Amino acid sequence: MLKNKIILVTGGTGSFGKTFITELLLHHNPKVIRIFSRDELKQWQMEQEFRSMPQSEKLRFFIGDVRDKERLLRAMQNVDFVVHAAALKQVPACEYNPIEAIKTNVMGAINVIDAALDCHVDRVVALSTDKASQPINLYGATKLCSDKLFIQANNYSGSTRTRFSVVRYGNVMGSRGSIVPLFFEQAKKGELTITDKKMTRFWINLEEAVKFVLDAFDIMQGGELFVPKIPSIRITDLAKAIAPKAKIKIVGIRPGEKLHESLICSDESLYTFDLGERYMIEPSSVGTWDSKYPKYKTIKKVNADFSYTSDKNTDFMSVPDIRKKLSKWFELYS
């Protein structure tokens, strides 16, 4: 599907963007990949890192901010597919800088939508987060708003070809700023900091997240919010997997942090369908949504009281399972 296509990735120098672009270059033979981000140093570093990769000549680096609509319009000229991964994501930083979070995560989403419509992009997939389900922090609230904007944007596309969908998944294992590299660094000193022993999280690695986004491009008809079926972990099990002999220091939950995460809350169950390998939340408002679901092999409505939370998940990773998933990290820190 992506062969000979022009693809734009906002926030393309981030952990997801680099893994996604690697997958495109190695296995999908695109015409051009445009990497849109605001950090010139990260772009230069990524250019050096990818220089020896096959088809690296197809990469184009655009310095720009999603807050700048005019720059987005320029970057999206003749683009076929857009992955919107740019966001302010650190919970404490968003709590301390709420206006900046809104400018990037909400106003930036509006700019991406408007540019995609004006440039007649074929498909747009926006990356969301588990924190957008029943949000209690500003980051989650801005991403929920962003999700609503992208879903509703299908009503603005009219007779044009542009379609928008959203993917919502949990914590990405080993992404920049995540707990995995923190624990490995702390393990060197023999003490790990844990916010609460009861804490649980959904878990997905970067490769799985990339595949999930690619699958969304393939099956989307516009208006869906896709949620993967992924395992949960206990934060204490993660600590045991990384440093079983380390001391544990309880530091308390940070401002805006949840004890357990939610990917689908009970209020969303009225609009949620089980597609087998994933869940799909349809738009709650009437619009251009096609209820015939022609691209889904299996589909059934979930129960009215259904919810999908990290503490009540039926799939939990064991300590050996976590260690196996982290094998490359053990090599990196050995």
Closest CA to 167 of 23, 301, 278: 278
Residue 10 identity (one-letter amino acid): T
Verify whether residue 300 is a known catalytic residue: no
Q: Which of 131, 148, 240, 258 is catalytic?
A: 131
Length of the chain measured in residues: 334
For the chain, what is the HEC assignment? CCCCCEEEEECCCCHHHHHHHHHHHHHCCCCEEEEEECCHHHHHHHHHHHCCCCCHHHEEEEECCCCCHHHHHHHCCCCCEEEECCCCCCHHHHHHCHHHHHHHHHHHHHHHHHHHHHCCCCEEEEECCHHHCCCCCHHHHHHHHHHHHHHHHHHCCCCCCCEEEEECCCEEECCCCCHHHHHHHHHCCCEEEECCCCCEEEEEEHHHHHHHHHHHHHHCCCCCEEEECCCEEEHHHHHHHHCCCCEEEECCCCCCCCCCCEEECHHHHHHEEECCCEEEECCCCCCCCCCCCCCCCCCEECCCCCCEECCCCCCECCHHHHHHHCHHHHHHHC
Q: Note whether 84 and 7 are within 8 A (CB).
A: no
Q: What is the rounded distance in angstroms from the CA atom of residue 268 to the CA atom of residue 289? A: 17
Burial of residue 200 (number of CB atoms within 10 Å: 0-12, 13-18, 19+): buried
Closest CA to 75 of 112, 45, 102: 112
Q: Give catalytic residue positions.
A: 131
